[in-house]
Amino acid sequence: MRTMIVGGGIGGLSTALSLHAAGLDCVVIEAARTLRPLGVGINVQPHAVRELTELGLGPALAELGVETTFMSVADRHGNIIMALPRGRSAGYRWPQYSVHRGELQMLLLAAVERRIGPVRTGVRFEGFEQDGDGVLVTLRQDGRVSRERVDVLVGADGVQSSVRARLHDPAGDLLRWGGIRMWRGIGESDQVLDGATVLAGGSNSAAKFVTYHISARNPRLLNWVAEVKVAEPGIVADADWSRTGSHADVARHFASWKYPLVDIPALLAATKRILEYPMVDRDPLPRWGEGRVTLLGDAAHPMYPIGSNGGSQAVLDARFLARCLATHDDPAAALAAYEAERRPPTSALVLAHRSLPIEKTIGLVAERAPDGFRHVSDVLTAEELAAMEAAQRGISDADVRALNERESWSV
């Protein structure tokens, strides 16, 4: 059985490695001529670290990223509201890592090339037709159109997925923008907190500044994300991860901040390239694929990139898809089983990311103590804090015991 994977991002490459580990044949096509380490920091949750570890990448991952200890939330004055343990600190058997997205992609790419062979770069998916026996895929390379027959087609082609657009009418499947613009970058900084905490200061209802260290090799590298509410929610035409933003645009939103935890102006000044992105998602789909064609990662469930779930859920999709294809004789039945397992939780995450519980907490603190506070118990009751911690865990620490005890997805 031969699978064609459209897209050589974290989702597509993880799918290739997972299929190969399950003894299945595959090919990855990628529109970019060269895969380069693009993007800035992301977090890889224990769920995904488990899968990557079972693919033999645990040690390489540990050499790459910073093992995350906490996610701490502060008000815009730098007063810590809560510190939620992450990864092994939260009881998982596997760590959470803060890493450079592009470096993780390069790690996966090197493994694909070593184990399977080269990714076919410069090849763009254009369309498909399927019958009961296979899928005929239309590709374009250097202006030339070709057709290839495969047994299964997986669209792992990101938030602007062309495979999704062939499966679902684009007119009814719009890019939804919550009105928050994100600026992202990597600068150098002294250690923030313990050097391994994801720190979020401020609130999405105005401006928020998130930082975390991302490199085991260079502990001074600090990833930052500024999220600023600049418009009312609406529809946008596109979302480009690589659009360049300006220092001035982002700096003005934080000019009045006195934030002792991070020297924001110095960090912005130390950032060579700033990226700008609208915080977008799409409504969850009532179904992902049909027959022998399916979707995976951001193509299936694009969500706001604020809950450490984009890359992590793509890795989970990849592993479960490979398991289904390896354990079902009929590819269409395998894809239906994959979708039945993965679509409900990821659809719920898309919606949950639109209003993270943590945002309510910070909003409440800002309302009750606009000029800051001395101790969190002055602004939130113990019950409020406990309820908010529990709600937040539902988003990013789904279930420690369930993950620790569930059987492996390896076949």
Ligand X SMILES: Cc1cc2nc3c(=O)[nH]c(=O)nc-3n(C[C@H](O)[C@H](O)[C@H](O)COP(=O)(O)OP(=O)(O)OC[C@H]3O[C@@H](n4cnc5c(N)ncnc54)[C@H](O)[C@@H]3O)c2cc1C
Q: Which residues bind ligand X (CB under 6 A)?
A: 6-12, 29-32, 38-40, 42, 101, 124-125, 156-159, 162, 184, 241-242, 297-299, 305, 310-311, 314
Torsion, Cα 291 322 338 392, to 10 degrees, reads: -140
Residues in Cβ contact with 310 at an 8 Å cutoff, skipping those fewer than 6 apart: 42, 297, 298, 303
Residue 145 tokens read as 């159109």
Q: Nearest distance from residue 102's CB to ligand X, in Å?
A: 7
Which C-beta is closer to ligand X: that of 45 or that of 361? 45
Which C-beta is closer to ligand X: that of 77 or that of 101? 101
Question: Phi, psi at residue 32, to the nearest 5°?
Answer: -65, 145
Residues in Cβ contact with 207 at an 8 Å cutoff, skipping those fewer than 6 apart: 76, 226, 227, 228, 229, 253, 254, 257
Q: Nearest distance from residue 40's CB to ligand X, in Å?
A: 4
Which C-beta is closer to ligand X: that of 38 or that of 116? 38
Q: Nearest distance from residue 5's CB to ligand X, in Å?
A: 9
Q: Nearest distance from residue 157's CB to ligand X, in Å?
A: 4
Which C-beta is closer to ligand X: that of 29 or that of 81? 29
Q: Nearest distance from residue 122's CB to ligand X, in Å?
A: 9
Which C-beta is closer to ligand X: that of 143 or that of 260? 143
At 81, is the secondary structure helix, strand, or coil?
strand
Which C-beta is closer to ligand X: that of 300 or that of 365? 300
β 134-141/124-131 pair status: antiparallel
For the sheet containing 25-30, what is the strand order?
Answer: 120-121, 25-30, 2-6, 152-155, 293-295
Q: Nearest distance from residue 155's CB to ligand X, in Å?
A: 9
β 221-229/207-213 pair status: antiparallel
